[in-house]
Structure 1
């Protein structure tokens, strides 16, 4: 057990020294490769402006997304009304699993939003 711990410690030191030696080079390469995405001047004010632009652009895109969702729902309703007799059990099962997955993600988001508590009370 002690020898495995020493091996693990040695490996961790080796990885740590590799990261320290190569992180600066990697950082410079990453910035150079993605230079077209960097807004000049790179200041806090520029970041705030970009953040506001992103927020309001996404806010402005909500009506378009809402209309797309409405079209998709209408299409599904039409398919169900026209081809109800042709539906297979597998298709209904897949749709049910998709709905269940969406509900599970909603529940997980709610739990995360409450600080990883089930009831919402912090102990």
Structure 2
């Protein structure tokens, strides 16, 4: 156990040295590569302004998304009215979508319980 601890400490020391020698260069390279995303001047006030712009831009996009939702719902209603003309491919896609929704629901329940499986007898 002591040898594992010494190995871990040695690797941590090597990683720390690597970051201290190459970290600054990586940081500068990253900033230079993404320079077009940086707002001038880079201050807290500018960050506050950008966060407000993001919030209100998203709020302004709600009516468009609302209309798109109702168009999709109308399309589903149309498909349901004419379900006799439904193709096998469309039914398969709908079934896969329903299965995916159910799988995400189950995964969310498992994550919500702290990754424990309860109520299942194996």
The alignment's TM-score, normalised by the length of structure 2, stands at: 0.70
Cα distance change on mapping 1:103 and 1:14 into 2, 3 Å: same
**Counterpart among 97, 100, 114 of residue 102 in structure 2:** 100
Query: Which residues of structure 2 form unaligned runs of 5+?
Result: 115-122
Tell me how far 1:34 sits from its aligned partner. Answer: 1.0
Alignment deviations for residues 61-97 of structure 1 (CA, whole Å, 9 cap, x no partner): 0111111122222223322332356558854542332
Alignment deviations for residues 41-74 of structure 1 (CA, whole Å, 9 cap, x no partner): 1111111111111110010001111111222222
Cα distance change on mapping 1:39 and 1:97 into 2, 3 Å: same
How well do the aligned residues superpose, as a CA RMSD in angstroms? 2.9
List, as ranges, runs of 4+ consecutive aligned residues in structure 1 with deviation greater than 6 Å.
105-109
Tell me how far 1:33 sits from its aligned partner. Answer: 0.9
